[in-house]
Amino acid sequence: MAISNIRYGEGVTQEVGMDLQNLGARKVCVMTDNNLGQLPPIKAVLDSLTKNGIHFQMYDNVRVEPTDYSFMDAITFAKKGEFDAYVAVGGGSVMDTCKAANLYASNPGSHFLDYVNAPIGKGKTVTVPVKPMIAVPTTTGTGSETTGVAIFDYKELKVKTGIASRAIKPLLGMIDPLHTLHMPERVVANSGFDVLCHALESYTALPYKMRSPCPSNPINRPAYQGSNPISDVWAIHALRIVAKYLKRAITDPEDREARASMHLASAFAGIGFGNAGVHLFHGMSYPISGLVKTYKAKDYNVDHSLVPHGLSVVVTSPAVFTFTAPMFPERHLEAAEILGADIRTARIKDAGFILADTLRKFLFDLDVDNGLTALGYSKADIPALVKGTLPQERVTKLAPRPQTEEELSTLFEASMQLY
Amino acid sequence: MAISNIRYGEGVTQEVGMDLQNLGARKVCVMTDNNLGQLPPIKAVLDSLTKNGIHFQMYDNVRVEPTDYSFMDAITFAKKGEFDAYVAVGGGSVMDTCKAANLYASNPGSHFLDYVNAPIGKGKTVTVPVKPMIAVPTTTGTGSETTGVAIFDYKELKVKTGIASRAIKPLLGMIDPLHTLHMPERVVANSGFDVLCHALESYTALPYKMRSPCPSNPINRPAYQGSNPISDVWAIHALRIVAKYLKRAITDPEDREARASMHLASAFAGIGFGNAGVHLFHGMSYPISGLVKTYKAKDYNVDHSLVPHGLSVVVTSPAVFTFTAPMFPERHLEAAEILGADIRTARIKDAGFILADTLRKFLFDLDVDNGLTALGYSKADIPALVKGTLPQERVTKLAPRPQTEEELSTLFEASMQLY
């Protein structure tokens, strides 16, 4: 169980220059995306760097929902810059791009697919030392500031995959809730669904003792270990925060308590899934976002079609839990109760239906689009969606119940409409 | 918030040799005490080292409740050995001694008081790199495997003090519940009280925003930050485990679930207090154990008088909470509820009394000696006990309520008898 360091508090971002000075950094790469370039979070970071005399170069070309091409652009920048530290200011896309840039710039002889998860890439163990990276999250969902995972769209296969290694985990995540105040409503909602799913999936993931293979040498073990008594603490705590604060954070941008709580929940759930792993929602989400046609998400200022990650993840959750609940019904019921279900007279065999219904109500109440149909998919797309899920075995194997291709088809079909 | 890495599971100790190999260690120092020298935990470690071809030297002369002299003996051994990694196998005494040995051997020019907490020592910031240390706890109380704290008796002043720096935190704590099965009853009880107090004190410590001074440069901040939303998660979770499992772990050595749960709770509470800090129980406990006369604790195989740490800490808890509750009564009531009190009709102004009564019942039920009198102290000792508490400002300043010397006297007096 590897846990990241996090620092929490309004205004902590102002300290980043001192931290870099303490690290002895002389040439720092600041990464962000061009939406954030003019906003307070990046201003706070640059002010702190300037004040502490830290020499830096800025890369603001991160793509929202990055691809192998956008990763490679950032890697090229990082290689040229020969940086000795990195600061990522943004959501998961920025932090993940920064992790990849740091990794490949620290190991310039490697090929891009060397560290990409198998079976798409070679899934090599990272043995080179990477530079220290400080992550300043500006959304409340990814938890990427606490994990060793970097996700991207692999264009050739039209599917999401990633790099997963403890080595690329940020040295420090700075949770500064001031940065959440600029978030538009749907960004709060969709990133909140990511927190919800991180918590639900890590809590219901295959228990760590049942995972296989389990390499005898600890260095060869994956970051995702299966659910365990430590990740459970984080998952349940994050789920409680989501149940209490997500709606408030979405509907009232001035509700500082709610937005700060979701910012912490994002990191907490990140620590949980960063060690336990995610499973089917995430595995099925990668083709849902990778195969996007014309859907454009409200409140996202991008020039390409986009199913935001949190939305692509949550949309299959009712169907998936109906399918997985027979394996660990108590945990599914417990999650339903935390999300508001009255389970006093519930039968254990109904756990999946109860959690699925609870999630449907929860999502309807938060204005989530009505299933895959609303995101532009039809039944004709199901074979492609299934095909895109199959290579995600790094996560799908952590589902509490194994899936055949037919079962995956049924799960996508059941997710066409939610209500 | 700096959090240690921990690995949990029956038998994980067998992996320590591989971890050291992965670290490239060529000459390892194994520290333990001579009670443990023949027991399964140390055997498991040595077997793993041998199997993986790791060259090591053994230091088994750690003193239970270490002193400056016993620390210095271990430091001398470590300096001579020029080790490149350390493995501590034992309770808090062993882990703390190992941290100190590693620190001073890594910085051979330093004087012993350089890193000892002010005002007794100079409290210097550690800036030298120390060697990686792996901690294998064999008791279920200290949480030392997760903290950057090393406590010892300073003989000249007859008080406990310590060294506190994130730099000396173990690289990895291996929580192997198999090692708890050999623990005698009172060792389980007393180390469990340490967990109880770590959880209670970190949850009721001064909130991080109210702590002063708060150095602007993060590197100068103490390990103990005051209670905060992250340490709270650990504290409450550990407290729930103590409430559920401590009695079972004490009374039935074969109750693996209970002993394993307490082993985890020890690490969880360690992460909590390692970041939030402890306060008055610990501050007042140091003279209680430092000034010990003839008390010999049951089940401890040592040749000197000894008030076990957990016992010295818990014995003042009812008096202290009656005193501190007016500052944050809700938290005190919440703690009482977790420990079994029915608070449905409780008045908030009675929070301190309710928690104190709950603790008295809890301790009586677990056969705790009846207060300081039973540990060999009388009213005549109170001035010395107060005098020994005054230098503990590193922790006493984190109490939610400041204390005068008179108030400390009253608290010791109120702790003479518990029931």
State the pLDDT at residue B409. Answer: 98
The shortest C-alpha distance from B249 to chain A (Å) reads 18
**Considering only alpha carbons, which residue of chain B is nearest residue A228?**
B8
The shortest C-alpha distance from B7 to chain A (Å) reads 5
State the pLDDT at residue B4. Answer: 58
State the pLDDT at residue A194. Answer: 96
Token output for A408: 């995956």
Find all residues with CB under 8 Å of A287, minimum gap 6, and list them. A158, A159, A160, A384, A385, A386, A387, A388, A389
Q: With contacts defined as CB-CB under 8 Å, which chain A residues touch B257?
A: none
- Indicate yes or no: CB of B3 within 8 angstroms of CB of A5: yes
State the pLDDT at residue A302. Answer: 81
Report ipTM for this prediction. 0.84
Q: How far apart are CA A401 and CA B285, in angstroms?
A: 51
Across the range B372-380, mean pLDDT stands at 97
Q: How far apart are CA B227 and CA B210, in angstroms?
A: 10
Q: Give me the total of CB pairs closer than 8 Å, taking one residue from chain A and one from chain B.
A: 66
Alpha helices in B82-184 (DSSP H): 92-106
**Considering only alpha carbons, which residue of chain B is nearest residue A22?**
B219
The shortest C-alpha distance from B90 to chain A (Å) reads 21
The shortest C-alpha distance from A140 to chain B (Å) reads 16
Q: How far apart are CA A92 and CA A88, in angstroms?
A: 10
- Indicate yes or no: CB of B3 within 8 angstroms of CB of A7: no
Q: With contacts defined as CB-CB under 8 Å, which chain B residues touch A1?
A: 5-8
Whether the predicted pLDDT of B1 surpasses 60: no
- Indicate yes or no: CB of B6 within 8 angstroms of CB of A219: no
Residue with tokens 């703690």: B335
Q: With contacts defined as CB-CB under 8 Å, which chain B residues touch A7?
A: 1, 218
Q: How would you classify the pairing of strands B85-90 and A28-31?
A: unpaired
Alpha helices in A205-228 (DSSP H): none
Contact assessment for residue B143 and residue B3, using Cβ atoms and an 8 Å cutoff: no
The shortest C-alpha distance from B29 to chain A (Å) reads 21
- B4, B259, B262, B266, B332 from B143: Cα distances, Å: 11, 14, 11, 5, 23
Token output for A401: 């119940």
- Indicate yes or no: CB of A216 within 8 angstroms of CB of B268: no
Read off the DSSP letter of residue A343.
-
State the pLDDT at residue B155. Answer: 87
- Indicate yes or no: CB of B237 within 8 angstroms of CB of A234: no
Q: How far apart are CA A370 and CA B113, in angstroms?
A: 66
State the pLDDT at residue B307. Answer: 93
- Indicate yes or no: CB of B230 within 8 angstroms of CB of A4: no
Q: How far apart are CA A355 and CA B158, in angstroms?
A: 59
**Contact residues of B toward A, CB < 8 A:** 1-9, 15, 18-19, 22, 208-209, 216-219, 228-230, 233-234, 237, 264, 268
Q: With contacts defined as CB-CB under 8 Å, which chain A residues touch B233?
A: 233-234, 237, 268
For residue range B285-332, list pLDDT tens digits in order: 989 988 999 999 888 888 889 999 999 999 999 999 999 999 999 999
Read off the DSSP letter of residue B306.
B
- Indicate yes or no: CB of B22 within 8 angstroms of CB of A229: no
Across the range B33-56, mean pLDDT stands at 92
Whether the predicted pLDDT of B2 surpasses 60: no
Q: Give the phi and the psi of residue B174 in degrees, each rounded to 5.
A: -105, 110
State the pLDDT at residue A321. Answer: 97
Category of A365 on φ-ψ map: left (φ > 0), alpha (ψ -120 to 50) or beta: alpha
**Contact residues of A toward B, CB < 8 A:** 1-9, 15, 18-19, 22, 208-209, 216-219, 228-230, 233-234, 237, 264, 268
Contact assessment for residue A249 and residue A192, using Cβ atoms and an 8 Å cutoff: yes
Whether the predicted pLDDT of B272 surpasses 50: yes
The shortest C-alpha distance from B411 to chain A (Å) reads 35
State the pLDDT at residue A331. Answer: 97
Chain B interface mutation, best of A128, A237, A271, highest count of B Cβ atoms under 10 Å: A237
Q: With contacts defined as CB-CB under 8 Å, which chain B residues touch A19?
A: 218-219
- Indicate yes or no: CB of A218 within 8 angstroms of CB of B18: yes
The shortest C-alpha distance from B88 to chain A (Å) reads 19
How far is CA B208 from its chain centroid? 21
**Residue B316: closest CA among B226, B394, B403:** B403
Contact assessment for residue B97 and residue B70, using Cβ atoms and an 8 Å cutoff: yes
Q: How far apart are CA A195 and CA A245, in angstroms?
A: 12
Q: Which residue spans within B114-176 are E strands per DSSP?
A: 133-137, 149-154, 159-164, 172-175
Read off the DSSP letter of residue A1.
-
- Indicate yes or no: CB of B18 within 8 angstroms of CB of A268: no
Q: With contacts defined as CB-CB under 8 Å, which chain B residues touch A231?
A: none
Token output for A142: 């990814």
The shortest C-alpha distance from B93 to chain A (Å) reads 24
Domains of chain A with bracketed CATH: 6-180 (3.40.50.1970), 185-414 (1.20.1090.10)
The shortest C-alpha distance from B262 to chain A (Å) reads 12
Q: With contacts defined as CB-CB under 8 Å, which chain A residues touch B1?
A: 5-8
- Indicate yes or no: CB of A8 within 8 angstroms of CB of B229: yes
Q: With contacts defined as CB-CB under 8 Å, which chain B residues touch A217?
A: 15, 18, 22
- Indicate yes or no: CB of A219 within 8 angstroms of CB of B15: no
- Indicate yes or no: CB of A1 within 8 angstroms of CB of B6: yes
- Indicate yes or no: CB of B22 within 8 angstroms of CB of A217: yes
For residue range B121-139, list pLDDT tens digits in order: 999 989 889 999 999 999 9
- Indicate yes or no: CB of A233 within 8 angstroms of CB of B268: yes
Q: How far apart are CA B359 and CA B373, in angstroms?
A: 18
**Residue B29: closest CA among B77, B95, B71:** B77
Across the range B93-101, mean pLDDT stands at 97
| Average pLDDT of every residue of chain B | 93
The shortest C-alpha distance from A144 to chain B (Å) reads 16
Whether the predicted pLDDT of B3 surpasses 70: no
Category of A47 on φ-ψ map: left (φ > 0), alpha (ψ -120 to 50) or beta: alpha
Q: With contacts defined as CB-CB under 8 Å, which chain B residues touch A264?
A: 229-230
Which positions of chain A have pLDDT values less than 50? 1-2
State the pLDDT at residue A335. Answer: 97
Read off the DSSP letter of residue A166.
G
Radius of gyration of chain B (CA): 20
- Indicate yes or no: CB of B219 within 8 angstroms of CB of A8: no
Find all residues with CB under 8 Å of A230, minimum gap 6, and list them. A1, A275, B6, B8, B264
Across the range B371-392, mean pLDDT stands at 95
For residue range B191-206, list pLDDT tens digits in order: 999 999 999 999 999 9
Whether the predicted pLDDT of B140 surpasses 50: yes
**Considering only alpha carbons, which residue of chain A is nearest residue B5?**
A2
Q: With contacts defined as CB-CB under 8 Å, which chain B residues touch A228?
A: 8
**Considering only alpha carbons, which residue of chain B is nearest residue A52?**
B217
Q: How far apart are CA B299 and CA B305, in angstroms?
A: 13
Q: With contacts defined as CB-CB under 8 Å, which chain B residues touch A229?
A: 8, 264
The shortest C-alpha distance from A196 to chain B (Å) reads 18
Helix/strand/coil for B375: coil
Token output for B33: 């005490």
Token output for B273: 């207090």
State the pLDDT at residue A1. Answer: 44
C-alpha count within 13 angstroms, C-beta hemisphere, residue A76: 8
Q: Which amino acid is at A267?
A: A
- Indicate yes or no: CB of A218 within 8 angstroms of CB of B5: no
Residue with tokens 């990276």: A133
Token output for B219: 């590197």
CB neighbours of residue A251 within 10 Å = 14
- Indicate yes or no: CB of A5 within 8 angstroms of CB of B8: no
Q: How would you classify the pairing of strands A56-59 and A28-31?
A: parallel
The shortest C-alpha distance from B291 to chain A (Å) reads 38
State the pLDDT at residue A113. Answer: 95
Find all residues with CB under 8 Å of B365, minimum gap 6, and list them. B247
Q: With contacts defined as CB-CB under 8 Å, which chain A residues touch B7?
A: 1, 218
Q: With contacts defined as CB-CB under 8 Å, which chain B residues touch A256?
A: none
**Considering only alpha carbons, which residue of chain B is nearest residue A12?**
B218
